[in-house]
Every structure is written in C-alpha cells, then in structure tokens.
Amino acid sequence: MHDWIADETALARLCASLAPCATIAVDTEFMRVRTYWPELALVQVATPRHLALIDPQAIASLESLRALLVAPGPRKVMHSASEDLVALGRIGARPIANLFDTQVAAAFAGLGPGIGYQRLVHALLGITLEKGETRSDWLRRPLSENQLHYAEQDVLHMPALHDALVAKLEARGMLAWCLEDCDRLARSSDEALPADPHHEFRNAWRWPIERQARLKRLAEWRERTARAIDRPRLWVFDNASAAELVLEPPADADAVRIRLASQRSFPKRAAAELAQLLSQPVLDEELALRPIPEPLRGDDERRADAVRDAIAAKATALDLPPAMLLSRRGIEALVRGHRVVELDGWRGEILADAIAAAPGRSIPRDSEARRG
C-alpha cells in the first residue's frame, strides 16, 4: 500500500525520512506526446519498507525532492533511466547523485542489453508483472486503480533487483564499471544544444562545406524553436523539409509559410525570421564545422573491421555485448582519429590491445579503470 503525497509538507516529511536510507527506488510517469519536454506527472519512490506516490501536479515546489535526488547519500535505483532523468531535470534534479540503473547493471550481469523491467523482475525474482498502463494518460486526476497499481509495481521490486544485481556484479568483478557508466548516464545533459546537429543528415556528406554550414544553422534554429514552443523537433519541420530549405531556399516569409504549411507545429509568426536566416551569407566561423562524415572506405574500412573483430573477441571473453564495449559510431570515430568519449575510464584500459588493431590510433587514458 502506498502513501499519496500531494502537498509540500508531506513531501518534505517523506524526503527527510528517506535521506538516511542506503537505497531508494525511483521511477517517473510523464507525458511526452505533443511536447518537446516531458511533463512530469507522477514520481514513485520506494524502500524495502515504504512506498510513496508523489503528485507533482498538486505540489507547487518540489525542492525537497530535488534536494534528495541530487544528494550524495542514498543510492537511487532506477530502470532504463535516461528519459526519467530528462523528466526529473525539469525540476532541477540534475545530475542525479549515486545512480544505479538496473538495465545497465543487467547488461553487466550477463542478462543481455536493453532488458525490460518486467523481464528482469521475472528473471531474477520469479515474479510476473502485467504491462497494462504504458500508454495511459498520467496527467488525468484522479488516477485509476489500475494506474495506481501499475505505478506501485514499477518501484516495488527495485530494491530486491538492486541487491540481486549487485551480488552478480561483485561476483563478475564489474560493479565499479557499472557504477561508472551509471554516473556518466546521470551526468548526461539534455540542456545543451547538440554539437553537430547536421550529422543527423548522414546522406548529405557529399554536400559542399558551405551548404553543410547552412544545414547546421537551420538544424540549430529548429532545435531552439522546438524548445521555445515546447513541441517535438520534427513537428517544426521534418528532415526532408530541412534539406529542401537548404537546397532551394524560399524567397521570402510568404514562401516559407507556403513551403511549411503541412508541418504540424511550424510557428507561422517565425516565417520572416527563418527566411532571413536562410538568406544570410555563411560566416567564416560557420565554415569551421565538423563535416558530416563520409562512409568509411579502403584502409579505414579495413581498420574498422579489424577493431570491430577484436572488440567482439574481447566482449565474448567478458560475456558482454560487443556494443557495450564500443558502439559502431565510436569505432568509426576512432578510425577517423577523433577523440572517443566512450573510451574514457574502464573501456580505454581493457580495449587498449583491441584498439591497437587500428594502426596509428591512440586512446585517452583520463581515468584508471578497475574492476570492483
């Protein structure tokens, strides 16, 4: 049975009682169908002895919850936390301190990548959960009994999952690796604009650098606009329209409105601004961008294959998914001679021999990796 928390006093009392705990299970329900940012609708927290559902729609200030989540004390246990972190970031809970993601941990435990919560509960605890409210309207009030039951189940078993996974990771000598990855996940930010948004247009690698600079400018404008009007990025205009705007710029604001009339959320009032943006000459500093990478060919492609094979062999020896050691894009970046953030920490140490298969390439050794 849960406690329903719907006022600041009760929330402060709850958070004070949770602060001394060793672990706290945390989950969120949010809506992100028609908006850029997720709208936080419910926060579930649990310990082995206590379960509470927090209604952020009813509480003016969630400061005590924010303070609890960013405090270094309790370990915060979450499952597949990336989207929950974005939702909690909207209340300032960034970064979550001492995060333990059970999906990340399950991959280190040899249970496979991307395992769902229900499967994991069944695999480790022998409990079968129903999955009946994933597309529910969590902003409506009151919540139904089915919704409340589903929300409870999403955190009820997390403390036991945490204990079972920690035992497996300690036995495999991978707990420190897991915690490092969880910390990196917690520190990832959704606030900064993407560094190279034009790289999303992978087929435009043949475009002249001046045209790629215009594409980057347009993609950055779309991102800022989507955030400002709180609508999904592709609702402002889709990628096909973006490419067309660069290749055949509209002559004026009226032409922009006509061109983008079918887009779901293009703000017509911004047509003049967009027309001006598209007509402005490219500045020298805009030309100093990272070009869209072309497909690997020749020696680079062979080096990538050699690195991929060596990483696959290392992954087999460790009983880990190869992509968990280094992603496809990470391999490509490595072969091109770019710094690969994935190789900071434990990966850089264990993959040193494998990466030697890419002649002339080196890897950063910013932190010493240890099994723990």
Give the pLDDT confidence score for residue 359 in this predicted structure: 55
CA gap 60, 91 in Å, rounded = 11
**Amino acid symbol at 53:** L
What number of other Cβ atoms are within 10 A of residue 63's Cβ? 15
Give the pLDDT confidence score for residue 314 in this predicted structure: 94
Quick check: 198 and 216 in contact, CB under 8 A?
A: yes
Give the pLDDT confidence score for residue 368 in this predicted structure: 38
Q: What is the DSSP string of 174-234?
A: -HHHHHHHHHHHHH--SSSPPS-GGGG-GGGGGS-HHHHHHHHHHHHHHHHHHHHHT--HH
Q: 96: which DSSP letter?
A: P
CA gap 256, 260 in Å, rounded = 6
Which run of H or of E encompasses 325? helix 322-325
Q: 371: which DSSP letter?
A: -
The number of residues in the chain equals: 372
Give the pLDDT confidence score for residue 134 in this predicted structure: 66
pTM recorded for the entire structure:
0.90
Please report where in the chains the tokens 């333990």 appear, as a residue.
100
Q: What is the DSSP string of 220-289?
A: HHHHHHHHHHT--HHHH--HHHHHHHHHS--SSHHHHHHHTTTSSS--GGGHHHHHHHHHSPPPGGGGSS
Peptide bond into 142 cis (omega under 30): yes
Which run of H or of E encompasses 43? strand 39-47
For 188-214, letters b (16+ CB in 10 Å) and e give eebeeeeeebbbebeebeebeeebbbb
Splitting the chain (372 residues) into consecutive groups of 10 residues, what average pLDDT does each group show?
Answer: 95 97 97 93 96 97 97 96 95 95 98 95 95 80 94 96 98 97 90 90 97 98 97 97 97 97 96 97 96 93 92 94 93 89 91 72 42 43
Give the pLDDT confidence score for residue 366 in this predicted structure: 41
Peptide bond into 322 cis (omega under 30): no
Give the pLDDT confidence score for residue 235 in this predicted structure: 98
CA gap 219, 234 in Å, rounded = 10
